[in-house]
Amino acid sequence: MIIFPAIDIKDGKCVRLLKGDFNKITSYEKSPLEQANFFSKKGFKNIHIVDLDGALLGESKNTKIIREIINNVKLKIQIGGGIRNIDNINSWIEAGVDRIVMGTAAVENISLLKNVCEKFKNKIAIALDVRDGLIALSGWTKQTNISALDFVNEVKDFGISRIIYTDIEKDGTKKGPNIKDTVDFAEKVNIPMVISGGISSINDIKKIKSLNNSTIEGVIVGKSIYDGDIEINDLVKII
């Protein structure tokens, strides 16, 4: 199981949101590059980066900072936030990014999703940010009536490499992830899934790993690391 420490970037800083609310934002002392170096030195092999400014505005806004991480830290980088055209995707892949995470663009432009999955094989992931089974877009500010399951069933044969499934009502709360819904979803779509949102303790991670479910590829851990609820050395041992 892959552990993805999260680096969410807003205005050049590492931040965490509460339930996707940009009015409930916590900033942290380390810069994104310092945080990435910290994760690398601790022994992690992957990180999950979100350009929150990009997600809101529809275009990458923290490119310089993210490129510094790519150039200075030997980690597999999964990146999302405002990546909504093929040129942008191509530039990130050429820069060395392992996976591109598409959210809003994937839902609003299905033909683009199909095209990039074919062009960049095993490089395209999709982010499903979900409230009560329905997808939210544009940094979670735009709620749709699109069923996450219906959407995935429409695109499941495109060659999507993984799905990042975030229960928005859990995200940033440290009240435990929505394991049941994510596992149920994974079993219905048969695409590798990454659980995101609400991780509160090392026991949540152990519980997910103990499922021994081949469709659950990994878990994203954010606020509980930054706030010290999970001891980083304990988390590394689970990798």
Given a contact cutoff of 8 angstroms between Cβ atoms, the answer to whether 51 and 139 are in contact is no
Handedness of CA 168, 169, 170, 172 (dihedral sign): positive
Domain range spanning residue 15?
A: 2-236
> Would you tell me the crossing angle of helices 148-155 and 179-189 to the nearest 10 degrees?
30
- 79: helix, strand or coil: strand
Integer CA distances (angstroms), 91 to 7, 35, 76, in order? 20, 23, 16
What is the reported pLDDT for 159?
A: 97
Dihedral pair phi/psi, residue 119, rounded to 5°: -75, -40
Question: Residue 202: CA atoms inside 13 Å, Cβ hemisphere, count?
Answer: 12
Joined together, the tokens standing for residue 143 give 């709620």
d(C-alpha 89, C-alpha 97), whole Å: 9
State yes or no: is 229 an active-site residue: no
Q: What is the DSSP letter of 214?
A: T
Count of domains forming the chain: 1
Q: Which of 51, 53, 98, 129 is labelled catalytic?
A: 129
At 162, which CATH number?
3.20.20.70
- 167: helix, strand or coil: strand
What is the reported pLDDT for 142?
A: 85
Instruction: Spell out the per-residue pLDDT of the chain, length 239, in tens.
Output: 999 999 999 999 999 777 667 777 888 889 999 999 999 999 999 999 999 998 888 888 899 999 999 999 999 999 999 899 999 999 999 999 999 999 989 999 999 999 999 999 999 999 998 988 899 887 667 889 999 999 999 999 999 999 999 888 777 777 888 888 888 888 899 899 999 888 989 999 999 999 888 899 999 999 899 989 999 999 999 87
Full-model pTM: 0.91
d(C-alpha 214, C-alpha 218), whole Å: 10
Joined together, the tokens standing for residue 56 give 């809101």
State yes or no: is 51 an active-site residue: no
